[in-house]
Amino acid sequence: MLEKLGIPLKVVVSNCDETFPANSSITEGVRAVAKRKARGIEALDTDWVLGADTLVHVEGQVLGKPTDEAEARVMLESLSGRTHEVVTGVALVGPGVEESFAVSTLVSFAELSPEQIDWYVKSGEPMDKAGGYAVQGLAAAFVEAIEGSYTNVVGLPLTETIAALSKAGFAPWDIWKEAKR
């Protein structure tokens, strides 16, 4: 999403520990993991590092990325006909700056038939997605309503991320001005 806005970046996978701190809330947990991810990349020759962590939870149950097709089915069954929350923690680490925040969005799924779940799982799309689905992909067919940030459900709350970058002195608008010169 940032590349589409013309923001130059390099994607680097952080191999940090993604477990939540003990006794943390979901919001505190995703912020902590996002900070860990961003700090884990600081050793690179980079001015700014942006880390993010997204999770899905429904009725007190946290849904990470499914480990296999059976777990993906169970996740989709738990989301079927219900509203769940998607929470993304974002951390920005740069010269003299460390800021983090979390954004929450409610997503309502239609009632899913076993055939719909099988079709979706067989597509392979759920396998590397928090909650076992990608709202920007085939699972868009299951979403009845979104309350909050759509880009948060995709994995990066764009409006809030751009605001954090601007506040930290890295104004994306300046990049666009320079590119037009």
User: Considering 17, 45, 47, 53, which one is annotated as catalytic?
Assistant: 53
Told to judge if 118 belongs to the known catalytic residues of this protein, a careful annotator would answer no
Q: How far is CA 36 from CA 5, 30, 90, in A?
A: 26, 10, 10
Terminal CA-CA length for the chain? 23
- Does residue 151 sit in helix, strand or coil? helix
Q: With the C-alpha atoms ordered 161, 146, 23, 128, is the resulting torsion angle positive or negative?
A: negative
Active site residues: 53
